[in-house]
């Protein structure tokens, strides 16, 4: 798969150039980020490994940064924009396989 957007359905694993992997569940409008194994603490993000509400997937194409609009449920913050390093892979994720986004 070369690109993905909010019009798609299903679950996907999106890998970025930093080595982070995002589990994107477009059916439930949630996502989870698993940082690269060699990621230093200063590169970790709030809610790594946790289920986060996905408002919109505005860009997700191989060779380009992925842009997400998410809701971290921080008081006074309506939404947060995340931009990743370039996407290196987009793979459909079968419903019968783990891992799952926490809470799904």
In tens, the pLDDT along 55-83 reads 999 999 999 999 999 998 889 998 999 99
Question: Given this model, what pLDDT does residue 31 score?
Answer: 93
pLDDT of residue 28: 95
Report pTM: 0.79
* Residue pair 69/80 in contact by the 8 Å Cβ criterion: yes
Q: Are 30 and 68 in contact (CB under 8 A)?
A: no
Per-residue model confidence (pLDDT) at position 16: 93
Residue 4 falls inside a structural domain = no
Token pair in block for residue 19:
């080595």
Number of domains in the chain: 1
Per-position DSSP letters for the chain, written without gaps between them: --B--TT--SEEEEEETTS-EEEEETTTTEEEEE--TT--GGG--TTTTS-EEEEEEEE-BBTSEEEEEEE---TT---EEEEEEEEEEEEE--TTSSP--TT-
pLDDT tens, residue order, the chain (104 aa):
899 987 899 999 999 998 889 999 999 999 998 876 554 444 555 455 678 999 999 999 999 999 999 998 889 998 999 999 999 999 998 766 555 555 54
Residue 2 in any domain: the answer is: no
Domain extent at residue 82: 11-92
CA angle 92, 98, 104 (to 5 degrees): 90
Residue 3 lies in a domain: no
Q: Does some domain include residue 64?
A: yes
């Amino acid at each position: 798969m070369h690109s993905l957007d909010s019009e798609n359905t299903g679950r996907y694993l999106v890998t970025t150039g930093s080595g982070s992997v995002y589990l994107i569940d477009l059916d439930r409008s949630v996502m989870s980020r698993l940082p690269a194994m060699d990621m230093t603490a200063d590169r970790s993000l709030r809610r790594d490994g946790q289920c986060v509400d996905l408002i919109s997937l505005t860009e997700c194409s191989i060779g380009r940064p992925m842009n997400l609009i998410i809701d971290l449920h921080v008081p006074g913050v309506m939404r947060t924009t995340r931009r990743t390093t370039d996407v290196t892979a987009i793979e459909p994720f079968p419903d019968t396989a783990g891992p799952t986004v926490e809470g799904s």
